Structure 1
């Protein structure tokens, strides 16, 4: 069985765990090492059980716990070449653990085949992932101002998709954020809106996704209800009804099982 749990998902910190019988991958470390350990223990795991870390990019809400983590866990760290370069500047002791990859070139971590692809974000080498196991495919796409070309090349056929739905456009525009920050978030290298997520969710459902998890919701400019409503409307209009959930911002999520959605 291949399972996915988010430990935290939002503007203040992101991390998730994908597990097979013998392989455990931590994707991003944007919360404290203590919180990562607590989340792992809720899943019956310890830091020493991690097979590898995958890092999406170097913004603090994705790597803030990594400095302490590398002192206590010596699992290899996979990232794009540009992200690896940034990690070397930011985190002492990380260099010997880094396993830089080229975008679009698959590699293996234990029982998992990992295919990275570039996102449209204001961090050099920002990356999304497809992870395939015997049970099926899991797609991870957050921190992108628009849907990248690689998503339509790599993600068709995934059964489980974790997809950013960061903000409601009207709420962001009328909110208290300064103009420069609104412009950044709304730009092509910012974050996916509910509407963009809704459109792509319908595409993914058409490719066979049986479960979609909405993630990385802004605390200021979105709510789970708004994100879910936008995506449900798009899916219904397209004639699809995959299982749809919203990842908690700061708590361990329910268990998402790759390939199980089609059996519900």
Structure 2
């Protein structure tokens, strides 16, 4: 059995849980340790049940709760080289359990095979993950300015894909953000637009992905409806019917989402 549950997904904080059989793996810790513990409790779990914590990069909306979490949770913390070095400075309590790896490499623990892949984002090191166990797989690809071929290859065909759909380009361009921030978000090391997310979703679905969770939506520059409509229409043009051929949803920004389970 594989399941995915988002605990929060926005520019204010990101955290999700992937469970593969009896292994429970947290991806990012961008909300408080208390909220993480409360979310786990809703699933009948505790911090002690975590087998590992995967960090994508060191921006605060992905690690805000990590320092406190590491003091109360014995699970190893995996991060790409570069990110691991940054974590030692901003979350030193992770030090004894920090497990650095080379971005793009894979590793295994608790019966789960983890593949990492570099993502183009404005930090020295940023990665996404694909987790596989028992013939099922889940992939997480957020915080990327565009989708390189290597990322498409890494996520395509995953049973569940958590995919960034950060902004609607026109809403961002004519919105209240200062010019420099708009340029950062729109750049190749920024965040993924709805249109770029839709193109990636079509490729992933063509490879066999059957559930996509749109994530990391901007509160100011996007809405769940805009993201869903853009991706749904792109899928339809590709001959894929959302709701029939593929399940498409949006991760709640500031609260726990539903638990998606694959037997």
- TM-score, normalised via structure 2 length: 0.96
Deviating above 2 A after TM superposition, structure 1's stretches of 4 or more consecutive aligned residues are none
Residue in structure 2 matched with residue 77 of structure 1 by the alignment: 77
TM-align CA RMSD: 1.0
Q: In the alignment, does 2:180 pair up with 1:176? A: no
CA contact (8 A) 1:22 1:111 kept: no
Shift of 1:139: 1.1
CA contact (8 A) 1:140 1:161 kept: yes
Aligned residues: 259
The separation in 2 between residues aligned to 1:92 and 1:179, in whole angstroms, is 35
The separation in 1 between residues aligned to 2:149 and 2:84, in whole angstroms, is 23
Q: In the alignment, does 2:223 pair up with 1:254? A: no
The separation in 2 between residues aligned to 1:182 and 1:49, in whole angstroms, is 40
The separation in 2 between residues aligned to 1:236 and 1:175, in whole angstroms, is 29
Gapped regions of structure 1 (runs ≥ 5): none
The separation in 2 between residues aligned to 1:112 and 1:224, in whole angstroms, is 32
The separation in 2 between residues aligned to 1:210 and 1:153, in whole angstroms, is 16
Shift of 1:133: 1.2
Equivalent position SS for 1:147: coil
Equivalent position SS for 1:58: coil
Shift of 1:233: 0.5
CA contact (8 A) 1:211 1:243 kept: yes
- TM-score, normalised via structure 1 length: 0.96
CA contact (8 A) 1:2 1:135 kept: no
Shift of 1:155: 2.0
Residue in structure 2 matched with residue 193 of structure 1 by the alignment: 193
Deviation by residue 1:186-212 (Cα, 9 ceiling, x = unmatched): 000000000000111011110001111
Shift of 1:240: 1.0
Q: In the alignment, does 2:15 pair up with 1:15? A: yes
Equivalent position SS for 2:78: strand
